[in-house]
Each structure stands twice: as structure tokens, then as C-alpha cells.
Chain A
Amino acid sequence: MNRQLDARVLVLPGAVLLVAYLTVVPLGMLVYGSFRSGAVGEPGATYTLANYARAYLDPALYRLFLNSIVYAAGTCLVSFLIGAYLAWVTERTNTPLRGLITVVALVPFIIPGILNTISWLFLLSPRIGLINLLVRDTLGLTAGPFNVYTLGGMIWVEATHLYPLVFLLMAAAFRSMDMSLEEASIIAGSRTFTTLRRVTLPLMRPAMMSTMLIMFVRAIESFEVPALIGIPAGMPVFTSKIFLAIHQFPSDFGLAGSYAITLLLLSTTGVLIYRRITRHGERFATITGKGYRPRVIDLGRWRYLACGGAMLIFVVTVALPVFVLLWVSVTPYYGVPSRELLQRATLEAYRYVLNYPMALQAFTNSFYLAAGSATAVMLLTSVVAWITVKSKIPGRALLDNLAFIPIAFPGIVLGVSLIWVTLALMPVIYGTFWLLLIAYITRFMPYGIRTASASMIQINDELEEAALACGSSWRQAFQRIILPLLMPGFVAGWIYVSIVSLRELSSSILLYSPQSIVLSILAFDMWEGGQYNYVAALGAMMVLLLVLMAAVARRLGAKVGLVQ
């Protein structure tokens, strides 16, 4: 009995304290800063409501907010449809080429946001977009049919960038789904698609909600698309305001903070809705003690159509942008593909990237940080998810919310607050690898908690109860029952966090030092230095690396997953 208590007494409060520390400190800074007349630590600053007055008495804000909501809802919907379709096809059906689909579905994700956006400009710009030129010349039109500089264009570009996350989360959820419920429906005479609509999707509700919530907040706080497409399109959004506040002279963190509070309220509301919907967690438990068998549906002849659909998605959302990326990386300057330009093709950009100062150092750091932050985030959030989903500990809803808070921090605000806290409490880790690790764990905990929580709900309590009844300790039950059953979600979250860590820039830039430099900083450095073909070469290499990594991770995931 004592032994049983030990792990719980240590692990649970430990996890809670860690989450609280990681989120409450920057949150405190954010809130405190939003009520101050000057930056934190500025002499002569006083408490004030002026920031809020300036932020919320501005009539333009509400129009922007409406823009943001439309843009975010559209992005959320499009990315969900694409991602969920691919996930269902690969996890639940006997469609050919499933392994390939899984790897390729992650590619849009590794392409840095700025490159992805610019690739789409080169594809869908009214004057020089490749797709437009192709359609125009094939059909003999006077102008191309598409214009990327519209709200629709913004939604499309952001959605193609975000759907891999939907794919990951939904694939994990589908994988933990028991066949017997669907079989029952089919025996009762329902067709495949009726079963999907009436049995499968309702059971997926926690995962769907989790995913949509992340998509929505991600789209609201996204930056590249609103800046590179929204500005020319004359579609300012909510984040444009935060950007302008940061680009005041000097940066106005008080104002940026009071805007960020809105994002915070929004994501909190989302979490509360999610908790309401999944209140009766047992209804969604698909992994039970009764002969649990995840298996695939035979689509019959439809499977070729399903595969064709997936391939079409890839040609449009992966092959085309990657082609643009490769084209840009081998040409000395951008031009519409032509024989003349092809003759000037050169691999100089790749040579240049490989010889960039600190490239090796950055690569090593990024690799360790990605693996380290992904592992730490998923372990921590698995424990937290157990508390919020399985335990009856009072205040668990608050914990769920806490772990989700960092999604609303603008990266630069988190960076500044971490500089403060570190210099005040632990100056010794300033500028080191560890500080970046703390930043990443904080930033990506929200994704971990949503993945872990959605997966945890699918595991029926009876399995753990059985283990405890047979005399195993809580630690043993957690380690040997819960974690292995969580594996699909754990791996999905791990892959996601490791990839976003590779791309993280806005906090890293303030916290790195030459010893702890990371890849994204070098990429941005090349971009700001005005060498676009070099950045494209780097992006192309990242895609290659990701494909290798995803293939390996999938092998491992399959090994430790549900195959036993």
C-alpha cells in the first residue's frame, strides 16, 4: 500500500507543480505587464488600465476580430477535412499505399511557414502563379482563375500548412478504436458510410474537439499568412495588431499583452467547451477489456478511389509546393520555369547552406532540442492527462486549462518573460541549451495535453482497475497498461512537438547564444539576409530529413504500439 502511494505522491504533485511553474510564471508576467504603463522593470512605470483602454476601445479591433474568426474557422474546417480524411484512409481502411500516405502527409509541416507561404504565392499569384499560368494557357483564358491574395487564399494556404497536425491526432484516435462497435452497426444493416457517420465519428468526438480547438487557436495566432498574404489582400486580422504593437518604437509589450489576454480567454473557453462535451468520458472509451481489436474496414473497389483522393491531395498540397521549393533552390533568381532558366541551374545553394557558419552546431542543437522537448512534453502531459481525465482530484479542470494556456502567448512575449525570470532566478542557464528546452516545453505543452487527453479518454478505466486489483502499484499500472495503450497518441504528439520545435523561432531568437544556436535561427538569418534560394535549399533538406525521420519513427511507433 505504501509503495503504491509513493509514485503517486511524487509524480502527480510533481507534474502539477511543473506545469504550474512553466505556465503561471510567464502568464503572471503577461498579465502584470498588461497593467503597467511601461515595460517590466522600467523605472517610473505605474499600474494602469490604459493598455486595455487602447486595445479594446479601438473600433477597428472588432472588425479585425471578425476577420480572424472567419479566417480561423475556415482554416479549421478545410484542414480538418483534409487531415481527417487522410487519417481515416490510412488507419481504418485497406487502401493501397497507406505507409506512403502516412509519411507524405507530414511533409507540409516541416516546410517552414514562411517558405510554404511563398511557395503558394509562386503557385497562385494572379500574374506569375504557376497554376494560374498553366490553367490559363491550357484553357486559352486571358487571365488565371485563382488569386491567392484573398481571404479564400489565406485559408487555403494556412490549411495546407496545418492539416498534418489533424492527420496525426485523428490517426492516433482512429487507431485506438475498437472494431466491434462498427461491426455491430454493419451487422444491423448499416452501410460503411452510415457507420462512419453514426458510430465512428461520434466516438471520435474528444479527438475531433481537441484537434479543432488547436487548429482554431493556431489559425487565430498565425503570423506568416496574415503578413505575407493578408497585407496585400487588405485583410488585416487580430494578430496584425499584436505585430504592430511589437513593432512600435520601442516595442509596446503592455499593449501586446492586453491583446494576448483575448487569445487566452478564447482558448480557455475552448477548453471549457471541450470538457463539457467529454464530461461523460466513459462514453468515448473505445479501448476496453473486452477483446479489443483495432482493425481495418474492407472498402472493396472503393479503396482505389480512396487512394486516388489521397494522391490528388498530395499532388496539390505537397508535390506542387515542394516542386517550387526545389526549383527556387537550384535557380540563381526566381522566374517562371523555362528552358533558359533551367540552363542556369546550379547546386551552389546547397553547398552554401552546408558551409554556413555554425550549421553543424545548429543542427545538433536542434536535433537534441526536438527530441528532448518532445519526450519531456509527452511524458509530462500524459501524467497531467491522467489526472484531468481519470482521477477525481478537485481542480483538475483548472490543470487542463493551465497546460493549454501557453498556446495564447505570442512567442516574443514568452521570450522576454523568460529572459526576465531566468536572469532573476537562474542566471546560470541564461543563453544555454536548457533555457531553450524550458521555452519549448512551455510553448508546446498545449499540443501535448490535447493529444494526451484525447487519447486518455479512449482508454476504459477497467483496464487500470484490473491491474490495481491484481496488486500492481499505480506506477506499474501507468507504465505497463496506460502508457502502452496511449502509444499511438503519444507517438503522434511526439512527432508533432519535435517538428514544431525544429521550426520554433520567435522565442528562440531572444534566448539563444552561439553555443545554443538552432536551425530555425539560421534559416531566418538567411531569409533576412535576402538569400531566398538558400532558404529554399535548407527547406528542401529539411523535407528530406523529415521523411527519413518519420519513416524511422513510424517503424518504432509500430513496434511499441499496438502490434504486440
Chain B
Amino acid sequence: MRRVVVLGLVVLAMAASLPVGAQDPIVESARKEGRFTWYTSMNIDDSQPLLDAFRKKYPFIKPELWRGSSEKVLNKIQTETRAGKFFFDVVAVNAFEAGFIKANKLAQPYLPPSAKAYRKGFVDPEGYWVDIYDNYFVLGYNTKLVAKAEAPKSWDDLLDPKWKGKFAMDPEDHPWYLALQDAWGREKAEKYGRALAGQTIQWRKGHTLIAQLLTAGEFPLGLVYAHRIEELKQKGAPVEWVTTTDPIPAELHPILIAAKAQNVNAAKLFVEFIASREGQAMIKAFGRIPAHPELELGWSVNPKQLKLQGVGVVGPDRASQVIKDWRDIFRPTGL
């Protein structure tokens, strides 16, 4: 009997010692590379744990992290690339910057196996990127100042004279406007934009600040991120967001592999990890909105019922055009 147990244990031990995915050539090549570098706009207390979890899975790969806001990531990549240096293997930034990276041939095509589960619009049809998390641009309101029945139901409701001077936005809400253009066409979006601009918008720099001031009651309405409001709600703050606006722009945050990646296989493993249910569950745990469609968010509203509009990865020309239109219509900085 003991012998059987021992034999069983030996067999088990042998089975366990077989390296995971020993058949997988990507893993084998990644083992040889032994490292990769990730440039990201995701803040450190989210991105570092992701790398730590990845390392638990592949202890033979040592990841390196560099974090800055999307535009800084882009400036760094461009400057390094022009100087003929290729330090980064993977990059995750906002949709506009991702579009620029793709258009300027700074990325190479790769879609991880997990991407098959993703909705249309959240994966690049040309195979260069997959989305990892989203910011939903929604209408937030302070429940002490606005009763639920009173709150606007649609974007058009914002044009009601009673909201004049009561609605706050960030001077760089270009993705929101891009979604309106995509949904309504450029002309209708402009007409709406000009009408809204006539409502004496309260400009405040930074979505964090807008959410804070909204909570404090400096203004009753603001354009905010849905997950931020959900987080504040959980802490007991007097805020809520409108689920019925059409569209609800969802700004993507794609991940791409560098065209000249030195550690392309390690990079592929990481992209798969972050796009998989496991990585996406972590992203959800950070309070972000994962791109993976099969994860429940635990909100009072199911995202499937929202009129989401993925704000895509557009080329630099379109991005510049949107920014130009936006500045022309809204003049957020008074310029």
C-alpha cells in the first residue's frame, strides 16, 4: 500500500515538474529572453501588481516598468526611436496615442488568444492591439443638489436653460466629442457642441478634480468617469451617474507590442496575460472597467444595457481634427 502511495506521489511529482506549456515555443523563447520592458500610462499601484502576478506565473522573466501620462509615453517613445534606441517591448496608452503608435509603424501585429472573446470595437481588426480597460464618459450628479427624477436623462437634456453654468467638463475631453461625432456625424455633433458651449460650461482641469468638486457640491453636474463615481458611491459620497445617455463614450486603453521589440516573446506572454480573464479580473479589482466582456462589474446597472460607443484608436489625422474641432467649438482655455 505504501508503495502504491509512494509510486503515486512520484508520478504526481513528475507530472508537476513538467514545465507549464513545455510545448509552447513562445514560452521557451521568452525564457531565453528573460526580461521585457513595459511603458504604460496605467498608474504604478495598478501596473506593478499586474507585473508581480505575471512574474509568479513566469518566474524566469523579469519585467521592467516605466509609467507616465499617455502623452509623455508617446514623447519618450518618439524621442528614443528617433535617436535609434528601442528600449520598450510593450506599450499601453490612451486610444489617441495608440493610434499614433500604430500609424507611425512603431508597433507590430499580435493578437493574444484571449482576444477572441472580445466584443467588436475592442480589438483591432488589423491585429495590432487589444483593449485592456475603458473609461466610460458619463454624466455625474451630486445627489444633494439634484434629485434623481430631476437629473438629465440624455445629452440633449443638458441644453435645458436650468443647467446653465451648472455643468463641469475637462478642457481636454476630446474622446467624448469624438464619440459624439462617430455616433451622430460631424455636423450634428458640432450643432450640439455649439449649443452646449452656450451653456457657460464650468471648466476644471482634471477628471479627478471634477469628481472631487462634484462630490463637494461646487457644481451639480459634471462629465466624469463612471468607475470613479462608483468608487465614491461605495465610500458613501453623495454622487450618482446617468445610465441613459446615448452614446456613452468608452475610451479604450489598448496594449501594443513594439515594432522593434527586443523581447518579443516575453511581450506576447504579457499581452496574453493582461487580456486573459485572470489579468482582467485584477484590473477590475483595481476599480477599473475591464475590456473583457465576460466579467461582471458588480454595479447596479449591467454594462450590457448601456449604449456604449468604443472610442477608437484613430489615426493622427483624425485625432488632430477632433482636437481642432473641439478647441474651435468649446474654447475651453479661453483661447
Contact = CB atoms under 8 A, between A and B. Distances in A.
A214 to B, nearest CB: 26
Given A247-B172, A334-B216, A529-B45, A420 B79 contact: yes
Contacts of B216: 122, 128, 334-336
Contacts of A423: 80, 83-85
A332 interface: yes
Given A128-B213, A335-B215, A528-B208, 19 more contacts: A60-B335, A125-B213, A231-B205, A232-B204, A235-B334, A244-B335, A249-B100, A249-B319, A249-B323, A251-B74, A333-B235, A412-B75, A419-B79, A420-B79, A423-B83, A514-B65, A521-B67, A529-B43, A532-B209
A247 B206 CA distance: 14
B333 A248 contact: no
Contacts of A76: none
Contacts of B84: 423
A58 to B, nearest CB: 9
Could you say which of A64, A228, A416, A419 has the most chain B C-beta atoms within 10 Å of its C-beta? A419
Interface in B24-69: 43-46, 48-49, 64-69
B113 to A, nearest CB: 29
Contacts of B237: 332-333, 335
Contacts of B232: 333
Contact of B208 (A234, A514, A527): A527
Interface in A513-564: 513-514, 521-522, 525-532
B116 interface: no
B66 A513 contact: yes
A430 B66 CA distance: 13
13 contacts: A42-B82, A121-B218, A125-B213, A127-B218, A128-B213, A232-B202, A236-B334, A241-B335, A332-B235, A344-B235, A509-B68, A526-B45, A529-B43
B186 interface: no
Given A510-B72, A528-B69, A234 B334 contact: yes
B335 A236 contact: yes
A427 interface: yes
Given A419-B80, A530-B207, A248 B335 contact: no
B277 to A, nearest CB: 24
Interface in B211-270: 211-213, 215-219, 225, 228, 231-232, 235-237
Nearest to B217: A128
A531 B231 CA distance: 10
A231 B209 contact: no
- Closest 7 CB pairs between A and B? A41-B82, A529-B43, A332-B235, A423-B83, A357-B48, A333-B237, A236-B334
A449 to B, nearest CB: 29
Interface in B160-216: 171-172, 202-209, 211-213, 215-216
A39 interface: yes
A334 to B, nearest CB: 5
B332 interface: yes
A354 B100 CA distance: 37
A60 B334 CA distance: 10
Given A356-B45, A358-B48, A240 B85 contact: no
Interface string A336-380: 100000001000000000001110000000000000000000000
A513 B80 CA distance: 14
A393 interface: no
A471 B45 CA distance: 62
B82 A510 contact: no
Nearest to A517: B44
A514 B64 contact: yes
Contacts of B211: 530
A530 B208 contact: yes
Contacts of B48: 357-358
Nearest to A40: B82
B294 interface: no
B143 interface: no
Interface residues of A, number: 61
Interface string B66-100: 11110110111011101111000000000010001
Given A244-B333, A528-B43, A231 B204 contact: yes
Given A244-B333, A333-B235, A424-B83, A522 B44 contact: yes
Contacts of A248: 320, 323
Interface of B: 43-46, 48-49, 64-69, 71-72, 74-76, 78-80, 82-85, 96, 100, 171-172, 202-209, 211-213, 215-219, 225, 228, 231-232, 235-237, 316, 319-320, 323, 327, 332-335
A226 B333 CA distance: 10
B335 A333 contact: no
B88 to A, nearest CB: 11
B21 to A, nearest CB: 28
B228 A530 contact: yes
Contacts of A510: 68, 72, 75-76, 79
A424 B212 CA distance: 44
A234 B334 CA distance: 6
Nearest to A510: B76
B320 A231 contact: no
Interface in A180-238: 227-228, 231-232, 234-236
A334 B323 contact: no
A539 B158 CA distance: 37
A553 to B, nearest CB: 30
A250 interface: yes
Contacts of B85: 423, 427, 430
A118 interface: yes
A97 B219 CA distance: 43
Given A231-B332, A250-B74, A334 B202 contact: no
Contacts of B327: 244
Contacts of A127: 217-219
Given A118-B209, A336-B216, A39 B69 contact: no
Nearest to B232: A333
A127 B217 CA distance: 8
A419 B212 contact: no
A358 B48 CA distance: 9
A510 B217 CA distance: 36
A125 B80 contact: no
Contact of B83 (A240, A419, A531): A419
Contacts of A250: 74-75, 78, 100, 316
A525 B43 contact: yes
A246 interface: yes
Contact of A227 (B72, B74, B205, B335): B205
Nearest to A423: B83
A241 B218 CA distance: 27
A511 to B, nearest CB: 9
A286 B135 CA distance: 62
Nearest to A362: B44
B82 A357 contact: no
Contact of A357 (B45, B71, B206, B320): B45
B235 to A, nearest CB: 4
B42 to A, nearest CB: 9
A341 B72 CA distance: 37
Nearest to B233: A333
B76 A419 contact: yes
A356 B46 CA distance: 10
Nearest to A416: B79
Given A419-B79, A424-B83, A529-B43, A228 B71 contact: no
Contacts of A231: 171, 203-205, 332-334
Nearest to B235: A332
Nearest to A508: B68
Nearest to B174: A249
B236 A332 contact: yes
Contacts of A236: 333-335
A427 B85 CA distance: 10
B256 to A, nearest CB: 16
Could you say which of A236, A249, A527, A530 has the most chain B C-beta atoms within 10 Å of its C-beta? A249
B320 to A, nearest CB: 5
B44 A358 contact: yes
